Structure 1
């Protein structure tokens, strides 16, 4: 979280493939205004829509805004504000941060959408300790990635690849990943991969869990594959950065408590075989991201 704009209002914008959402956030983190519009494709339309929804969220208080934060999919350079390859919006290359700053006259900071959501989820679920310590968001969306927040500051790493655990190639089925590797965790432990592995329902995860509970053989085998990969992802995250909270987000996490129950069952299975894992007490650290709040937009504002 930036401290440069801690005493002013901030706008957070969450750019999605079908909608763009914005919030106006007070210096103490309260949401004062909110707006949402349908997303359009192409550089010019995306820039126009970001500016429009930001102004709608702020309303008459736009002149009081000290910073705008944007969370967006694609390849993001948080230092320069450049974004590449927002596939769902037909954006190949865009200087999003500088363009929005020029249009609005307000300092603008751009983050990867998972990182922005991590800040928002950490702020909402951090409890009495707030943003102190390390908090991670494990995002099960089209891909699999983590956002890591340490004492309110996002960890990017040297090249911006911190948290990209979805491309750790340890999944034993060795499915081909779009990144070019074989066996990436996200080829099994992501929303898109579960839809491929279980094409019998939309959304797939709730149906997969229900059928596995009924002991349908195909569902049991598929859920076991997915849970082992999710367990690996949680262990990699826990044993590398040791967060006090691991927040489960993304489309798959909207399954809610049933998902948490099957993940906890997998973690307890591992604990029964390993005292070291039992000592980490990973199930106690898991939380579901709040689905009723604009987590990505809030996080983008707080990260600005």
Structure 2
């Protein structure tokens, strides 16, 4: 392809790069115009502003390879407070970032438009398209049970940020009756009970994920496991009801590390949901169990979502 041919292409005819930045690794995908993943690269994450910029630039070149000149946009998903309009990132504790103009600085180095989203919002776009179809219609909510708990809201394929960017921050709604202290300064936040990290604190096990072990032990009749599982599933269904009754989505997708538990996580969630439905015709009429799905966690959901969330240049 000649330089003139490349210049005449529209963004829809060109490639996209999506990058998912985590506390320990960075994953990038190269997506072709038909939304096929043409390449996938992972590198260790490094702490610090300069290191993150360098890693974004290097992994973009690595994943694109000889097709770099055909890349129209780069999308990035990253934890912390993100201004998607400017690409500014604040308070990424795991990467030692206080403030970073990630979109601007990476865009200058790459010579390509760079769009930055919060990592949960990026994953929400990815999950919505992978589970709900390439052109998802209506409202889809992605519940991320990871280190914390947050929801990504996608309407007709477009992530919703709200006025201040805090849309979906349901993990810090302080309604859990156990009143565990939260690092945010409140007590009783949902994520102190049903995030992946909190389950690990309440049910510590060596060498394996805590949620599958907790479910297995509870099913064997271990009293401590049964008590903790009731507490966790109560908070999970609180989260489901909050997003269901606030946004009335056609689909609620479970994602994040805890969702790797798979169908057993859905099963215990439905068990708690049925308990509530027995005494609440209103809740029964919502048919929430039919709306709950699992994200395709064997796929690079976050990186793909970051690529798809980037507007066409």
* TM-score range normalised by the length of the shorter chain: over 0.9
CA deviation after TM superposition for structure 1 residue 27, in Å: 2.7
* Residue 122, structure 1, aligned to residue 128, structure 2: yes
1:211 matched to which residue of 2? 217
The alpha-carbon deviation at position 33 of structure 1 amounts to: 1.7
Give the C-alpha shift of residue 274 in structure 1: 0.9
Question: Relative to structure 2, which stretch is displaced further, 293-302 or 52-61?
Answer: 52-61
| Structure 2 match to 1:151 | 156
CA shift for structure 1 position 5: 4.1
TM-score by length of 1: 0.96
User: Which of 220, 223, 232 is equivalent to 2:229?
Assistant: 223
Give the structure 2 partner of residue 10 of structure 1: 16
1:288 to 2:294 alignment:
yes
Deviations 1:113-134 (A, max 9, x none): 000000001110014x831111
Q: 1:197 aligns with which of 195, 199, 202?
A: 202
Q: 1:185 aligns with which of 186, 190, 214?
A: 190
C-alpha distance in 2 between matches for 1:68 and 1:109? 6
Of 232, 236, 248, which residue of structure 1 is paired with 2:242?
236
In the alignment, is residue 169 of structure 1 matched against residue 174 of structure 2?
yes
Counterpart of 2:249 in 1: which secondary structure?
coil
Q: What is the aligned partner in structure 1 of residue 77 from structure 2?
A: 71
- Count how many residue pairs are aligned between Structure 1 and Structure 2: 300
Specify which of 90, 94, 97 is matched with residue 100 of structure 2: 94
Q: 2:297 and 2:51 mapped to 1: Cα distance?
A: 27
For the residue of structure 2 that corresponds to 1:22, the secondary structure is strand
Structure 1, unmatched stretches of 5+, are none
Q: Is the 8 A contact 1:270 1:277 kept in 2?
A: yes
TM-score, normalised to structure 2, is 0.93
| Counterpart Cα distance in 1 of 2:12 and 2:215 | 44
Work out which of the two has the higher radius of gyration on C-alpha atoms and give 1 or 2: 2
Shift of 1:8: 2.6
Q: Deviations over 1:157-196 (max 9, x none)?
A: 0000110111111101111111111111111010111111
The residue number in structure 1 matching 2:282 is: 276
Distance of 2:152 and 2:195 partners within structure 1: 15
Aligned to 2:7: none
Distance 1:230 1:207 in 2: 17
Unaligned runs of 5+ in 2: 1-9
Query: What is the alpha-carbon root mean square deviation over aligned residues?
Result: 1.3
C-alpha distance in structure 2 between counterparts of 1:175 and 1:6, whole Å = 48
> How far apart in 1 are the matches of 2:221 and 2:119?
37
In the aligned structure 1, how far is the partner of 2:35 from the partner of 2:125? 12
2:26 match: 20
Equivalent residue of 2:12, what SS?
coil
Q: Does 1:36 align with 2:42?
A: yes
Instruction: Give the Cα separation in 1 of the matches to 2:271 and 2:32.
Output: 40
Partner of 2:5: none
Cα contact 1:34–1:56 (8 A) shared by 2: no
